[in-house]
Structure formats: structure tokens, C-alpha cells
Amino acid sequence: MKQFFVFIKKEFYHIFRDKRTMFILLGMPIVQIIIFGFALTNEVKNAKIGVLDFAKDAASTSLITEIQASRYFDIAQTLSSQKEIEPVFQKGNVKLVIVLPANFNAELTHLHTAKIQIIADATDPNIANQLTNYASAIIRDYQQRITENQQLPYTIQTQVRMLYNPQMKGAYNFVPGVMAMVLLLVCTMMTAITIVREKELGTMEILLVSPARPFRIIVAKAIPYLLLSTINIASILLLSVFVLGVPINGSIWLLLGVSMLFILVSLSLGLLISASADTQQTAMFIALVALFLPTVMLSGFMFPVANMPVVLRVLSNVVPAKWYYNIVNAVMIKGLGVQAIWKELLILSGMLIFFLGLAIQKFKIRLA
Amino acid sequence: MAAVSVENIIMSYGKKKQKINALSDISFSVAAGELFGIIGPDGAGKTSLFRILTTLLLADSGQASVNGFDVVKDMKQIRKRIGYMPGRFSLYQDLTVEENLHFFATIFQTSFSENYNLIKDIYVQIEPFKNRRAGQLSGGMKQKLALCCALIHRPEVLFLDEPTTGVDAVSRKEFWDMLQGLKKQGISILVSTPYMDEANICDRVALLQKGKILSIDSPAGVIAHFKNPLVAVKAKQMLALLEKIKTLDFVQDAYPFGEFHHVVLQNEKAVPSLEQELEAADLGHITMHKVQANIEDCFIQLMKN
Amino acid sequence: MNNDTAIRTHDLTKRFGGFIAVNKISFDVKKGEIFGFLGANGAGKTTAMRMLCGLSIPSDGMATVAGFDVYKENEKIKKSIGYMSQQFSLYDDLTVKENMRFYGGIYGKSNQFIKEKTKLILDQLQLKNEANLLVKSLPLGWKQKLAFSVAMFHEPEIIFLDEPTGGVDPVTRREFWTMIYKAAATGTTVFVTTHYMDEAEYCDRVSIMVDGRIEALDTPAALKKNYNTNSMDDVFLQLARKATRKSD
């Protein structure tokens, strides 16, 4: 047992004494969360828009104030004629123009109906769609409020609810994806690399010749990475709750439990790679091509699996990250319990047994 | 019981088409307490042999045992009883001298203090650097640390694969002095080296070339097998001298050797003939004298036969 | 600048921070000379050699190689020298011929030149049948000899050899040195480092570095006389034991 601990201690020395490893292990998750959470978000904030207000009455002014106050829009141009609309779009100054007709207040109060024109730059259809949705939502909000004040008997309301992600935050989608990626990076790639490094340096020769049991050597090498991964999960969850504002809707213990399962799957994949690679480069290459790319592409976190061609859909089933991604989505975002994820749990457990068995079988107690 | 016994070991590399014999039918044995040298150039098969004996590789055929334990069946027993220093510097470069020692002590289920006596003489030389990372030591210091690590569990048999390659002459000499000290403590040592001059320090040597043993004997015994007269010659124009000698039909072989050329003659009668020939040739300041062959001369002769 | 001088250094120094790797070394190497450059591990040999090859700018002092200044004309130096080391010599995954073609190309030699030279070398080394084999399939001794020929391919004025014979069998080692002798006889200057002390004897003159300084420089015979011994090994040991520096 003492052997075992001394091994783990040594492994921590390696990690703590190499700044690059330290950064990959502890800095990467934070960097990834921040990049995905902020920079790569598809959420629109402070989009520049133009307003053409023909009415300039009480109602139009208060609606414009409301739009300006929202965090989505920033009124960059106040236009005075129809002719000015085209040029501001062409210059790319604004993404959207809201046109309020003359007599806006009068029509609204007397006829109970008013028309507002929203013109969007649809070069990027996704953004145009989002912006018009936001604008309509603000206008509906406004309409709802003034109707309440007047207490009229019939009011037609359109109500759209965004399920699970009411603010349509990108972070909801990314957090589970980043968790899967980071765990894969730390557990699979780093574990594989450190084992292969011992082969490259020749220290594996000495270890194999020692009475230390080969499999125990490998397990001891994996343990520090297991510990570090739990730190990573904690830091990702803390960041997502307190910085990105993504709540944990389900049971945190269930979430940690399934993460542990996924870590074990990743570790056994790392062991499998280390058994077949002889240089750190090869290990890195296998990890990147065979694991990282499929994780990013096929786990569903970048591109929805349902929209993929059949071949890719079938292929995505062998990507462990896909199942983990589904689980985290269900537990963390939707707040579901074990009964909703038992199928995924079963698949991941099966993968763990398979990969671990293969890794043990392939592990060499000799050199060639 | 022999410390190491090797019988008819064959080991080959590569696919069927291009099979290269790393070791072809090697047999020898090392007595307990002996300092046994495997002398041979790179590619002779030294490392393969060491890896077979340290249970790291399986031979294609043949048998080998270490202290009576079979290298295939009794792998675990052997791994407890041997010390191994591979050819490359194989310690953790990012751990300090002390950390490396403690790590290996624990791996071998012992402690640094338990066998301190054995490594004391070597350790005191690296002790001033005990807090330095192994990667920052000089070549000679690294070798000493690696030796300490290989000895930390007081192995019965010590395997040293090219411990002095790439190490300067001073450190090499110190290293061999240390091995003499270990021998006195009763450890059997199998050491390989490409440096022929190091053979003389071993009790017995096996000259290995292309997977074959050319000769096994004590250094004196190997030299005794060298029957031809050997003459060292020197002149002002060394290259021309060598070319001239090579044209003479009573010369078996001639090659540069330090400041001289060594000339292997077919028989005693050829000595005066050589003298005559060289005096006739105008090469400037010719000197010649008979010399005793050394291991390198023997190796060259054995290689060419 | 004397026309008979291939390499000249005066107070050549290299510092890495506070550490003086090479400390004011001064020596001349004559054209066509075989110059042995010895020293213990960490004495500063490699650093000195790198400066002379134009790979590292000196901190102080002067040096010319083939008449070119190591500070300003390192591109010209590179064209006039050949370099071979034990570690890096040839591409294992190229054939013998392809390696020669590649090195000829690097030095901007014409196709005609490359073709003729390749044929000449293959003849000399008796490698004609192996010309289209991958270098990795050759025995080590052949590789070393081939590496030497490739380093000499562009007919450099000076050739630097960094421990060229490490681990090579005694017969090949001698064949190798015969090649060195021949190169020197045709006027090429040979600058060589080695750990084999008997090889130091093959050199016309030998310098021994200790702690960044050149402690001795003379013919092997004179060195042995001065240090009152009959082997270069002993000369080296006497000098190297004075070293106080113990790091690489």
C-alpha cells in the first residue's frame, strides 16, 4: 500500500512541476467555460438598431424608452424618413429598424390596435430571427401592460415560453458539452500521455523490472487525474452557476455520480491508448483524432445529432461523450432523476467494462 | 549456483521477410560474485540480452535463469532480486536526487536507510546535490544516481547496460572503481560496454558481435588466444605508411592504433621482413617495436575471422 | 589573416547569464590539420563547437572560420563547413541516394555535381547495391561512414565531427579514421571531438578543455611528454580531475 501512495505522490510532483501540464489540467476548464460561455455565445446583446418614429407621441416615446432600456438593444440611429432606412442597413450600422406609424397613440387608444413595422437585416438569418423575436417580445410586454391599465374585457395575448432556457442562453447548451470535453482531455489524454512518457524516458523499464505490480502502477498513475477531474467538475459547476447563471436543476449528487462514471470511462480509454502508443506524440494524436473530434462533432453539443445523416447518427452512439452530454442535460438543466437516464447510465457502464477489460488485456508486462 | 545462466538463446526482430537476428544461439554463465563484461559495439545485441535476463523481453527460443530462477516462469521472483540500469538515463528528471532515491526504495519495498551502507560510498559523491533535480545533473552524476537507485534494494544480481556510454573518461574510471567496490560486497554484476579498454577490469568477458559471442574468457585468456606477432609502427606519413603495409603479403592485418599502426603478421619470420620493407620505403622517422595485443586487437582479429 | 589558417579564435567567450560556458579560448587550426577537441562532459566543448559552426553568437572575443567572421558571416561559414554528429546524421526513412540528393540540394549543388558525387561515394563505400535501400536498414557502422561522406558531400573546407564513432565496432572505427586521414590528406581541415582516448592519438594536435578553458594544446606526443606519461588517457585524467565544475 505504501508503494501505491509513494507512486501517487510522485505523480503529483510531475504534475506540479510542469507548468504546461498544470495549465492544461486546471486552467483549461476555466478558459473553456469562459470562451464558450461568453465569447462563443449565440445570444445577442446590445444589438445596434434604428428607430423611425413618425408619431412622436406619448405611446411611441414610452415604447422606445422600453426598447432602449432592454439589454438586447441599443438605439444607435434615430431616423427621420423612410429614405434613410436603406443607407443605414447598407453601412451595416444597424441590424434592425423599428418603424412607428403616425398617430400611433391615437390608434392604440381608440382602435385598440396599432401596427409597428420591424425591418431586419437578414444577412445572418439566425440573428435577424432572434432580434425580431426579442423586439416582438418587448412590444408584447408593453402592450400587455397598457391593456392591464385600461382593464378592457377582451385582450388577446400571445404567449411564447422558451422551455428550460427562458432567456435562450447559450451557456445552457455549452456547460454539459464543456464538462464532457474537459473530462476527456484531462482523463484520457493526460493519463495516456503520462504513461507513454514513462515508456519514452525508459523509466517504465525500471518500473517493470521492480516488484511493483504492473497494473497497480497504472492505477496509481490514473488516480491523480481522477482527483484533478473532480476539482475540474467542481470548478466548472461553480463557474456555470455563479458566473454564467446556469442553475443545477436536478440532484447535484446524481450529477457528480454520473460524472464519476464518465471519468472512469475516460480513464480506461486513456489506459487503452497508452497500451497501444509508444510515443507521446502518437498518444496525443490518437486522443485528438479518435476522441476529441468525435466528442466535439458527434456528442450533440455543437451540432444536434437528430439533424445528422443516418451514418453519423449511428456513429454517434459509440461516442461516450454523447451519452454523458445527454445525462448532464437531463439532470442539470431539465432537473430529471435517475428514471430518465437509466438507459444512458447502462450504456456508459457497459462502455466502462468493455474499455477497461480491453485495456487490461492489452497492457504489457514486458516491453515488446 | 550460477548468478546468470544463458543457454541457446535466440532472439530476432522484424517481420518474416527481413528477419534480423539480434541474438543467435548465445550461451554463457556468470558465477556468483563475478564481474562479467559483455563487450561489443552498438547493435551487437547487448541490450536485447539484458532485457531478456531482466524479464522485459521474451526470447524466441532457449533458456535463461538468474540465480536459479527462470526468466519466463519466475518473473516475479527475478524482479524482486535484481537491480537494472538501462542504457538510457532512466530516472525521473523532474524529481530531485533524494526524491528519486526514496521513490525507488519504496517501489522495491525497502527504505533508503535500510541499505544505506551499500550505496554510501556512491551516495556521498552526489549528496551535495541531493536537492537538485535529476535532469540538471551532469552525465557522470546521473550515472551515479542511477546506480544508487538500481542498488537501493540490495539486489543479488546487478545488470548494467552500457553504464559508461557518453560519459567522459574521468567519470568512467570512477564508475568502474565503484563496481569493484560492489563486487567486494558479494553482488554479481553483469555489465555491458562498447569500450574495449574497459574489458580489462572484468573478471571475465564475452565479446559480442552481431548477436554472436566471439569469445568468452578472462581478459588475459582472451589475449592469450592472440597468437600472431603484433608490431607497432610509426612514421612521419602515417597514411602512406598504412597503405604501404597493407600491400605486403606477409601482413595479415594492419590498422591505426593510437599513435601507432598495429601490424598483425603471419609469423615470427615476417618481423624482420617488415623491418626491411619499411626501411626501404622512404616515409620518414620509421620506428617499430613488438607489442602485446590487447582486447581491442583480439576483438578486431575475431571479428575478421 | 594567414592563408594557412582554417580556424582562428582569440579570447572566444560564451556566457549564459552568470555562467561562463566557454572562457576566453584562443587557438589556431591549420588547413588540412586533424584537430582533436577533447574535454569532460560539461567542459564547454559543445558550446564552443556551436559558436564555430555559426549556430551561436559568442558573448565576447573573436573567431574566424574559413576566413569568415563568426559574428557577421555565419551564413558564409555554414557553406564552407560540414557537420556530423552521432545523434543526427541521416534521415532513416530516406534511401541512401535520396539522402545524398537532399544534402546536395541543401548546399545548392547542380544536378550534374550531385549525380557524379553520388556515384563516387557509392563506389568508395562499396554501397552500390544498397543505394536504393532505406538508411535505417543499414548496419550502424555503414551509417556512420555514410554520414561522414554525406557531411563531406559539398566538399567543405572544414568538417566538424562531434563524437562520430560512439558505439561503433573497433574495425569500423578504424575504417572511419582512415576516411578522416584521407579527407585531411586532400586538404580538408578536420575538427573532431571524441571520448576514445586512443582516437586522440590520431590527431595532429589535441586541445583539452577543462571548466570552459583550454588547459592544454599540443601534439599528442608533446602532451604525453609534458605530463610525464605514456598514454593520452592519463594526460586527460590528470587535466580533467582539476575540474571544479560539475554540471552539464
Query: So what's the pLDDT on residue A163?
Result: 47
Q: Parse chain B into domains and list their residue ranges.
A: 4-224, 230-304
Query: So what's the pLDDT on residue A368?
Result: 61
Q: How far is A204 from chain B (nearest CA, A)?
A: 8
Q: What DSSP letter does each residue of B141-174 carry, written as one string?
A: HHHHHHHHHHHTT--SEEEESSTTTT--HHHHHH
Residue C245 lies in a domain: no
- When pLDDT is averaged across residues B191-195 and rounded to a whole number, the result is 92
Nearest CA in chain B to A202: B90
The answer to which of A65-79, A162-176, B12-26, B175-189 has the lowest mean pLDDT is A162-176
Q: How far is A231 from chain B (nearest CA, A)?
A: 24
Residue C248 lies in a domain: no
Query: Shortest CB distance from B107 goes to which of A202, A212, A368?
Result: A212
Query: So what's the pLDDT on residue A333?
Result: 82
* B20: contact with A, CB 8 A cutoff: no
Could you tell me if A266 and A183 are in contact, meaning their C-beta atoms sit under 8 angstroms apart?
A: yes
Q: Under CATH, to which class is B230-304 assigned?
A: alpha beta
* Chain B residues touching residue A206 (CB < 8 angstroms): 84, 86, 90-91, 104, 149-150
* B239: contact with A, CB 8 A cutoff: no
Q: Domain of C213: which CATH number? A: 3.40.50.300
Distance CA B297, CA B275 (A): 21
**Alpha-carbon distance values, A98 to A53, A135, A137, A160, C130 (Å):** 8, 9, 13, 21, 80
Evaluated on CA atoms A213, A215, A221, A227, the torsion sign reads: negative
* B168: contact with C, CB 8 A cutoff: yes
Determine whether the interchain pair B91/A365 forms a contact, defined as Cβ–Cβ distance below 8 Å. no
Backbone angles phi, psi at C95, to 5 degrees: -80, 170
pLDDT in tens, B33-84: 999 999 998 888 999 999 999 999 999 999 999 999 999 999 989 998 999 9
pLDDT in tens, chain A (368 residues): 777 888 888 889 888 888 888 888 888 888 888 887 776 555 667 788 888 888 888 878 888 888 888 878 888 888 888 888 888 888 877 888 888 888 877 777 777 777 788 888 877 766 777 788 888 888 877 777 777 666 554 444 444 444 455 555 555 667 788 888 888 878 888 888 888 988 888 888 888 888 887 778 888 888 999 998 888 889 888 888 888 778 888 899 999 999 999 999 999 999 889 888 888 889 989 988 888 888 888 887 777 777 788 888 888 888 898 899 889 888 888 888 888 899 999 999 999 999 988 888 887 777 76
Per-residue pLDDT at B6 exceeds 90: yes
Per-residue pLDDT at C175 exceeds 70: yes
What grid cell was written down for A59?
405611446
Report which of B90, B102, B157 is spatially closest to residue A205, judged by C-alpha positions.
B90
Q: How many contacts does A have with B, using Cβ atoms within 8 A?
A: 78
Residue C143 lies in a domain: yes
Q: How far is C220 from chain B (nearest CA, A)?
A: 8
Is residue C50 helix, strand or coil? helix
CATH number of B4-224: 3.40.50.300
- When pLDDT is averaged across residues B168-192 and rounded to a whole number, the result is 90
Q: Tell me which of B85, B104, B111, B158 to substitute to probe the interface with A (most A C-beta atoms closer than 10 Å).
A: B104
Mean of pLDDT over chain B: 90
**Number of domains observed in the structure of chain C:** 1
What grid cell was written down for A79?
431616423
Beta-bridge partners for A213: none
Domain ranges, residue C167: 5-240
ipTM over 0.85: no
Confidence of residue C87 (pLDDT cuts 50, 70, 90): low
Could you tell me if C159 and C190 are in contact, meaning their C-beta atoms sit under 8 angstroms apart?
A: yes
- Identify the H or E element spanning A137: helix A125-150
What percent of chain B has pLDDT above 90? 62
Residue C181 lies in a domain: yes
Query: So what's the pLDDT on residue C248?
Result: 41
Query: So what's the pLDDT on residue B164?
Result: 87
Q: Tell me which of B107, B152, B157 to substitute to probe the interface with A (most A C-beta atoms closer than 10 Å).
A: B107
Distance CA A68, CA A46 (A): 9
**CATH architecture, range A47-150:** 3-Layer(aba) Sandwich (3.40)
Return contacts of A153-161, CB within 8 angstroms, 24+ apart: none
- When pLDDT is averaged across residues C42-54 and rounded to a whole number, the result is 88
Residues in chain A: 368
